[in-house]
Amino acid sequence: MRLLAATDVERWIVLLPALVVGAGLVGGVLILLGRAFAVTVRESGHPRLIYLGLLGLAAAIVVLTYLGVELPREG
């Protein structure tokens, strides 16, 4: 039983650097996209319209999910 636990610990030790680097890459991309979106909203002539559009999209997703609508799957 101890051998199995040691194998799990070794696997986590090997995977930990990849997980840290992967999380850093995802975080960096999210920061980059967030800053680009902020600049786009700031430079647009109608930032309220953009926010209302995002709010409407989120509301539509919530309502359609609540109603159980599913997208067709490719066979």
pLDDT in tens, 14-48: 899 999 999 999 999 999 999 999 999 999 989 89
Query: Would residue 55 count as lying in a domain?
Result: yes
Query: Would residue 38 count as lying in a domain?
Result: yes
Query: Would residue 27 count as lying in a domain?
Result: yes
Question: What's the number of domains the chain is made of?
Answer: 1
49-69 pLDDT tens trace: 999 999 999 999 999 999 999
For 11, how many CA atoms within 13 A lie in the half-sphere containing its CB?
Answer: 6
Query: Would residue 63 count as lying in a domain?
Result: yes
Full residue range of the structural domain in which residue 58 is found = 2-67
Query: Would residue 72 count as lying in a domain?
Result: no
Query: Would residue 36 count as lying in a domain?
Result: yes
Query: Would residue 7 count as lying in a domain?
Result: yes
pTM (predicted TM-score)? 0.62
